[in-house]
Amino acid sequence: MRVTIFGSGYVGLVTGACLAEAGNDVVCVDVGAGKIDRLNGGEVPIHEPGLDALIKRNREAGRLEFTTDAEKGVDHGLFQLIAVGTPPDEDGAADLRHVLAVARTIGTHLSRYSIVVTKSTVPVGTADKVRREVDATLQSRQATVEFDVVSNPEFLKEGAAIQDFMKPDRIIIGTDNPRTVELMRMLYEPFTRNHERFIVMDVRSAELTKYAANAMLATKISFMNELANLAERVGADIEKVRVGIGSDPRIGYSFIYPGTGYGGSCFPKDVKALIRSAREVGHQPEILGAVETVNARQKEVLVHKMRRHFGELKGRTLALWGLAFKPNTDDMREAPARTIIDLLLKAGARVRAYDPVALEEAYRIYGTRGAEFTSCRNAYEAAEGADALAIATEWQEFRSPDFERLRQLLKQPLIFDGRNLYDPAVLARFGFTYYGVGRGKSVAGA
């Protein structure tokens, strides 16, 4: 099938590569000439496991093309997928300028029936706006071309996006047109052969489903962090509580891990946008406001623990393991590590940081800070000569370090574990003073 995707960012690239892998003929359009040149040169501008090889294989097979030529893209596709960014405005509302600009572009060049599909995460009612923009542009051309608008939100986890696309939990299709449903079903049929994952609903419900899913997951995270802060004050261990409540199938174990808060390009933006959408229709979303407040506070929890331990942070050097907001990505947008770094630098401390894949992004953000911020080649180099180690991201390679070596490298055996990777009793046997999140009292080693 012929597919055009507007936007060659995270969603656009993963979607395009996976659809091409299934045998479709895919053209990805982007206004960024530099990005398109890089992609055509074999360079993938984002880190996602397996994506480089997938793009390379399908480009070489002739099923995947990158271009800045919007007219060519519109002429190519039966499906016109809109996968451009919707960054938050200052008030938290989703910025739809890029989405509506693509709608006008489609209307400018549309010459035969197409299905316009919104993949971008957008507020309820956006599909109606897209339809109006395409209609208005066609009318300005005095052209009559049939088209449909479908909401098809993405549910891709950074670090596992290819697996999520190839073996989806669900495929949400928002449309009232039976013909469009069947065409969309044909497009996604290669990914639903083992299990029926196709869920059809009206457009507005589909748009809300995406926001509701991310807001629910963010709520679970903030709720567990709230419980972790309580556990710390009453002397309980939140990790034992987590196992106890997760064994209830009504709750489950997913997204109930306490830590330093959520980050990334989705949860923070989508919670803000949903709050804004609710207020626009006269509803005050109390729970969502609390989710956001708890998360902002939780990002500071490790630095508060450091202040209580050291008193003065000025002149201290802290090793930081993990910069990306989660493992298997280089995405530092809204990452808890950024809050930790900013607070430490503001307090006059120095940071020695390591992340398996996000060092280039960290240098882009903090490269001008000189000796205050040092990017290190590996985890142990970051720890060398530091007053303490802080952990902000649960990368696999951090789970079983050489604690004996670590104790020798640090000025003092002190760990602030923002992801509860370690057993406090084990750390105590190695002589570490250990601060986790919600682990009761700090554990002091011998």
Could you tell me which residues come within 8 angstroms of residue 70 by beta carbon, excluding any fewer than 6 positions away? 6, 29, 105, 108, 109
The dihedral built from the CA positions of residue 29, 32, 36 and 42, taken in this order, carries a sign that is: negative
CA–CA distance, 143 with 134 (Å, rounded to integer):
11
CA–CA distance, 260 with 354 (Å, rounded to integer):
17
CA distances to 7, 20, 21, 36, 111 from 24, in Å: 18, 5, 7, 20, 21
Cβ density class 167-205: b for 16+ within 10 Å, e for less = ebeebbbbbeeeebbebbeebbeebeeeeeebebbebbe
CA–CA distance, 64 with 66 (Å, rounded to integer):
7
Q: Report yes or no: 125 and 180 within 8 Å, Cβ to Cβ.
A: no
Is residue 28 annotated as a catalytic residue, yes or no?
no
CA distances to 85, 121, 272, 274, 311 from 95, in Å: 8, 10, 12, 13, 42
Look up residue 84 and give its DSSP letter. Answer: -
**Identity of the amino acid at 208:** L
Strands (E), 124-208: 147-151, 171-174, 198-201
Residues in the chain, total? 446
Point out the catalytic residue in the list 18, 28, 266, 376.
266
CA–CA distance, 155 with 153 (Å, rounded to integer):
7
Q: Which helix (H) or strand (E) holds 368?
A: none
Residues marked as catalytic = 266
